Amino acid sequence: MRKHWLDNLRWVTVLLVLFYHVIYFYNNKGVFGGIGGFGPYPEWRQYQDVVMYILYPFFMPLLFILAGISARYALQKHSAKEWFKARTRKLLVPGTIGLFVFQWMTGYFNTMVAGQGEVLAAAPGPGKYIMCAISGIGPLWFIQLLWLLSLVLLIIRAIDRNDRFWNWCGKAGIVTIILLGLLFWAGEQTIIKNPRAESLDGLYNLYKPFFYLVPFLLGYFVFSHDGVQEKVKRAWIPLLACAIISGGILIGTTFGQDNTSPQYLGSPLNCLYGWLACLALIGWFQAKFDRTGRFAGYMTRSSFGLYIVHYLVVASLGYMMKTYTNLPPLAMYVILTVAVFTLSPVIYEIFRRIPLIRWCVLGEKKR
């Protein structure tokens, strides 16, 4: 029987990512990649940036947990070869070929936001195209890394052919499940604390492969068990309360800092809040949202595509409003939010109806 809570939690998290990017794009806390805020901090406190502090500690680890759970279910129905072939089409194709078909447009605006317009203008024609395509990776780091972790999972499965480790993990009680947050914290310690300028350190800290391997494998080996899910479900109220308390303390004591810096991410309080939030949401959605409907069914099918295409709307419209208009900040936030949640589905629906584009950009087969 399909677990609707899993589908619902995935697409809700994707929508949170879309909203996060609206706030992040105009942040003034020093988070890399945005165009900047409407004044320097602390003179302009921009309390709306609190959205970043609420969401960033947990939403990407949660997506990797859900991906790990889904991988376990899929591999129970399909051979490893079939599954990895489908993963390659769904993840690697949009994360490579799709860059040159669609994401180069996002890359153009990313380049302008980064203040590299003169460098782009000086590059020869083919160089401009390649530079924009590579700069267009943006949020697609997630699917690129997920493909790599899928390959790692197949290697681990080959070692544990009899599922002994998976069966052992299914015995975890709620205390053990909470203490797995220590692995969450240990994963964050693999980030390069003082990244060197003009090196690949920053790129490594973006992908954080060893950190995200932790929630992905926990999803596969631990949270794919019905018994473990039931234990988290029964504890969702105290878990949510603890997540809210720890998150409130974290935000209250750190607001104004770059919440994506290695030091911030590796702090015990950030890891505690991130882990408790993941557990609380898994339990909450099992308890209250294990059902589907017309809208939920559509979002289950389309959320991956919305994730793929949405950042072009953020980068292009967000850049043009900040650069070429004198709109008040509130108007920019409202316009960009509405645009992301309306234009992204439009772009997705157009692309999924064009065979070659559908395969290159969305990784979807012929319907």
For residue 265, is pLDDT > 70?
Answer: yes
Looking at the domain assignment, is residue 282 inside a domain?
yes
At 287 the three-state DSSP class reads helix
At 367 the pLDDT is: 63
Average pLDDT estimate for 232-260? 98
Whether the link from the prior residue into 268 is cis, omega within 30° of 0, is no
Q: What share of the chain is helix, strand, coil (3-state, %, to 5)?
A: 75, 0, 25
At 345 the pLDDT is: 98
At 20 the pLDDT is: 98
Distances (CA, A) of 148 to 88, 93, 99: 10, 13, 17
In sequence order, the β-bridge partners of residue 255 are: 257
Residue pLDDT, tens place only, 328-338: 999 999 999 99
Looking at the domain assignment, is residue 218 inside a domain?
yes
At 365 the pLDDT is: 86
Residues 6+ apart with CB under 8 A from 94: 140, 143, 308, 360, 361, 362, 363
Phi–psi pair at 255, nearest 5 degrees: -60, 130
Average pLDDT estimate for 239-264? 97
HSE, CB side, 13 Å, CA atoms: give it for residue 46: 25
CA distance 112 to 22: 17
Residue pLDDT, tens place only, 102-159: 999 999 999 999 999 999 989 998 999 999 999 999 999 999 999 999 999 999 999 9
Question: Which candidate, 264, 204, 208, 273, places its Cα nearest to that of 30?
Answer: 264
197: confidence class by pLDDT, cuts 50, 70, 90: confident
Residues 6+ apart with CB under 8 A from 15: 299, 303, 306, 341
Least confident of 140-144, 290-294, 363-367: 363-367
At 19 the pLDDT is: 98
Average pLDDT estimate for 282-310? 98
Mean pLDDT rounded to a whole number for the chain:
96
Residue pLDDT, tens place only, 23-34: 999 999 999 889
At 1 the pLDDT is: 81
Number of neighbouring beta carbons within 10 Å of residue 289? 17
Looking at the domain assignment, is residue 153 inside a domain?
yes
Looking at the domain assignment, is residue 102 inside a domain?
yes
At 238 the pLDDT is: 98
In sequence order, the β-bridge partners of residue 257 are: 255
CA distance 86 to 59: 24
Residue pLDDT, tens place only, 153-181: 999 999 999 999 999 999 999 999 999 99
Looking at the domain assignment, is residue 66 inside a domain?
yes
Looking at the domain assignment, is residue 227 inside a domain?
yes
Residue pLDDT, tens place only, 85-117: 999 999 999 999 999 999 999 999 999 999 999
At 46 the three-state DSSP class reads coil
Total domains in the chain come to 1
Looking at the domain assignment, is residue 367 inside a domain?
no
Phi–psi pair at 126, nearest 5 degrees: -60, -35
Looking at the domain assignment, is residue 237 inside a domain?
yes
Residues 63 and 20: beta-carbon distance below 8 Å? no
| Domain interval for residue 35 | 4-362
